[in-house]
Every structure is written in C-alpha cells, then in structure tokens.
Chains A and B, each alone.
Chain A
Amino acid sequence: MAPPEKDDAGRKKKESIVDLSRFIDKKVRVKFQGGREAMGTLKGYDALLNLVLDDAIEYLRDAPDSERVTEDTRSLGLIVGRGTAITIIAPADGMEQIANPFANPDAEE
C-alpha cells in the first residue's frame, strides 16, 4: 500500500482509522470515559468522533457500585456525544454478555 501523502510541513495527512458511515442510521452502543453508556441511532459524526445519536437512551449505573451498568435506562432523545469522552463505539447487536471465561482457574489446562 502506498504510504500516506505528506503535506508541506512533512507530517503525514491524518486519516481516520474508523469508518462510521457504515453505522449511519443503525443502532450503536457507546461507552464514555467516566463509565457512562448510551445507545442510539447514529445520525451523524465528524472526524473528531463527536456523534449525533437519535432516540438515545442512557444505561444507568448501580448506585453503590458505579462501575457496574444495570438494565435500568433513561430516555434522552436526540443527543450529541463528545468525541473526547468516547472510549468504545460498537453496533448494538454486536455485544452480548457471556459467562466469565476466567471464573474457574482450576479448570484451565
């Protein structure tokens, strides 16, 4: 593959490593720094990974243990998600919870 072209200052041109256009009008699940999680229909985005999500819901965290996300949700509507705070963007049907594969170390070979 040809190396990315350089601009006048000799720096490589910034190329996005993700292509969010395939998620447009699809439901995505977004995780944020600080533990918040949201799900919504991706309506728009920019190079800095700011997102526009429609019919968004936020997954609420356990009050005593704010690391754990429950199934309780609250509806937010049309939101902008800040790219600076986003850690993960995944298709909504691309995640499922599985049993802990590390649960029993004795059974491992």
Chain B
Amino acid sequence: MASTSINPSSLLPLELIDKCIGSRIWVIMKGDREVVGTLCGFDDYVNMVLEDVVEYENTQEGKKVTKLDIILLNGNHVTMLVPGGGGPEL
C-alpha cells in the first residue's frame, strides 16, 4: 500500500459517492454527454446503476435531452460526479 499516509480526516471520493446512493447524482462524461439520475449503486470501476435518468447530449445545434428508466452506466468514460446535482442549465 502507499507509504505516504493519507490524512484520515480528509474525505475519500468513493465514500462521498456511497453517501449519494438513493439521491440524485449528476454524472459528467469525458465527451459532451451528461447524465442525471438517482444513484442505485456502483462498483469498484464506478460503473453505475441509475434510475429515472435524463441524458443531456451537447451537439452542434444545442443540447439533446433523452429520458430513460433504469440504466447501467459504463464507468469507463465517467469524468466528474456531482452528488445532488441538478444537471446542466438548459
């Protein structure tokens, strides 16, 4: 394990995501895609199961919005996560 000690009173990122289970989360991907949904769970790779999802795509013309029921989001392209986030302003 890392020999440089991590300050125990600082916040672990995956703990913060864990606290967010059951609430809305705004997920920003590497490309121009963002997703807002209720976080049902996630795994070590931060693949996520999300419910009542709204997907925002930034295309040339503007934002495209799609609504989805329950999804498995592949964690490969996840860049940022905003707990309790409302999503991008339209």
Contacts and interface: CB of A to CB of B under 8 A. Distances in A.
A15 B4 contact: yes
Contacts of A52: 10-13, 16
Interface residues of B, number: 32
Contacts of A85: 30, 77-79
B49 interface: no
B81 A46 contact: no
B7 A24 contact: yes
Contacts, number: 99
A88 interface: no
B80 A43 contact: no
A105 to B, nearest CB: 35
Interface string A67-83: 00000001011111111
Contacts of A47: 1-2, 6
Interface in B1-47: 1-7, 10-14, 16-17, 28-32, 46
A19 interface: yes
**A interface bracket (residues with beta carbon within 8 Å of B):** 20 to 34
A19 B4 contact: yes
B14 A46 contact: yes
A33 B85 contact: no
11 contacts: A15-B2, A24-B7, A32-B30, A36-B30, A46-B6, A47-B6, A52-B16, A58-B80, A74-B88, A78-B83, A84-B76
Nearest to A7: B1
Interface of A: 13-16, 19, 21, 24, 32-34, 36, 38, 43-47, 50-52, 56, 58, 66, 74, 76-85
A8 B30 CA distance: 38
A15 B83 CA distance: 30
Nearest to B86: A77
Contact of B28 (A15, A19, A36, A46): A36
